[in-house]
Structure 1
Amino acid sequence: MPESLFITGTDTDVGKTYVAAGLVVTLRKMGIDVGVMKPFAAGIPQRKGFKSEDIEILATAAQVTDPELLLNPQFFPIMASPYTALKNLKIKPNIPLILKQFKKLSKLHSMLLVEGMGGVMTPILQNYFVSNLIKDMKLPTIIVTRTRVGAINHAIMTCKMCEKYKIPIKGIIINNFDVDGYHVKELKRDLENLTRVSVLGSVPFIDDMSDNSLYRIFKKNIDMKSLLN
């Protein structure tokens, strides 16, 4: 049975959701029963469907009918970290609920892709970060980065924190949507040399989120075999 994975990023707005959706579609078309989860989500609630647009994208990609409380146990109606939501809205992040729902979802699917919020050091509680959550879920992670200048610094810091928390890294995926960033070939070379982590591939800017489009792009550009090993 394939191992479940946690999708994290080197920062917020690196395109984790789009990368996760592409991976989910590709895994599903490879015949794997894959479920999705975003433990914490934040932002302006959608009027229809799921509160979180990210969950809407992931659930559509996975073609799942799991209830929202399993897919996204906690939603904060402001664009902020769970810790900031705690301070500003007095809504306490519920770690036991997250882990309970994660266990339930794990039993419903052969494999889960769990998308984090921001980067690995996004604060959830005073001394509990996304890295603690990954550790508690006992999952390896895929790190999504972009190509803009500064990406190498962010990727190295992310890898170092994963080492500190003893989180296995499956690989790095480069989201190549910046028009003025590093050349992917050079970025891949430098990231692999500096982090000793494999780059599983890069994906171009995606404007067509249809199944066929995502499957074509990810099958061509991402080393799915290494991702599943």
Structure 2
Amino acid sequence: MEKIFVTGIGTGIGKTFVSAIVAKSLNADYWKPVQAGFEDGTDSEWVSRWLKENGSIVHPEVYRLSKPASPHIAAREEGITIDIQHICDRMPNVNRTLVIEGAGGLLVPLNNTTFVADLIKALGAKVILVSRNYLGSINHSLLTARVCRELQIPVIGWVFNDQYLDYEEEIVQWSNFPRIASIPYSDNVNGTFINSQAAAIQKQLEELL
């Protein structure tokens, strides 16, 4: 089973959006083990809207926390401690590729001692890095890339999205991680858009896996 962990350079940069596109392009299952905040719906519910037609399964969260905050804080408020080994034990056992979406970035704390990066290593997953083009994203992207190198986390490549400014070539060059895709900004994210972007990245993604 190929395990692809989608993480980003921060919060709100399009991990869920990219996870849906990647899962669609590979006919993969989707799993978000830690969800913090669900008043407006969960990421799993959003992704499931776009994956039904190709038979992909959206697996349930291991931790479903109500407060939209850092997972360690949201868990603490519910009297829970997030346990990485428990997440690993609950990892879906499937015959197809599994796309795993993280919470925030690599150094988001899951409890008082472990971070999202520790979960990636424990799951034995390869990583897709999501970067959104905004002022400051070069710094955030290269910091993320450096953490991956220092922790020896295997990186498949970058998916860029949004169109504030084009920092992509510099980030690819300085990080030495390849570009998988550039996803344009859209005011109308629907099934047609998800399908078209999935088709556009499929060849490049398969070559890098």
Do the structures match in fold with TM over 0.5?
yes
Is residue 42 of structure 1 aligned with residue 31 of structure 2? Answer: no
Where do 4+ consecutive residues of structure 1 move more than 6 Å? none
8 Å Cα contact 2:15/2:130 also seen in 1: yes
CA distance in 1: counterparts of 2:171 and 2:205, whole angstroms: 19
Spell out the pairing of 1:165-176 with structure 2 (5 A cutoff). Answer: 165-176=151-162
Spell out the pairing of 1:55-134 with structure 2 (5 A cutoff). Answer: 55-63=44-52, 70-102=59-91, 105=92, 107-134=93-120
Q: Where in structure 2 are there 5+ consecutive unaligned residues?
A: none
Match of 1:198 in 2: 178
8 Å Cα contact 1:5/1:114 also seen in 2: yes
CA RMSD of aligned residues (A): 2.0
* Alignment deviations for residues 195-220 of structure 1 (CA, whole Å, 9 cap, x no partner): 1111112101242321x331212323
Percent pairwise identity? 25
Deviation (angstroms), 1:95: 2.2
* Alignment deviations for residues 139-189 of structure 1 (CA, whole Å, 9 cap, x no partner): 11000010001111011111111112211000010011x5xx222xxx221
CA distance in 2: counterparts of 1:11 and 1:114, whole angstroms: 16
Match of 1:26 in 2: 25
What count of residue pairs does the alignment treat as equivalent?
205
Deviation (angstroms), 1:66: 5.3
8 Å Cα contact 1:120/1:131 also seen in 2: yes
Residue identity opposite 1:118 in structure 2: G
TM-score (norm 2): 0.89
Question: What is the DSSP-based 3-state SS (H/G/I as helix, E as strand, rest coil) of the residue aligned with 1:5?
Answer: strand
Q: Where in structure 1 are there 5+ consecutive unaligned residues?
A: 29-33, 47-51
Deviation (angstroms), 1:53: 2.2
CA distance in 2: counterparts of 1:221 and 1:188, whole angstroms: 16
Residue identity opposite 2:133 in structure 1: T
CA distance in 1: counterparts of 2:207 and 2:37, whole angstroms: 34
CA distance in 2: counterparts of 1:138 and 1:95, whole angstroms: 12
Is residue 135 of structure 1 aligned with residue 121 of structure 2? Answer: yes
8 Å Cα contact 1:141/1:169 also seen in 2: yes
CA distance in 2: counterparts of 1:66 and 1:217, whole angstroms: 20
Match of 1:152 in 2: 138
Question: What is the DSSP-based 3-state SS (H/G/I as helix, E as strand, rest coil) of the residue aligned with 1:123?
Answer: coil
8 Å Cα contact 2:30/2:57 also seen in 1: no
Is residue 209 of structure 1 aligned with residue 190 of structure 2? Answer: yes
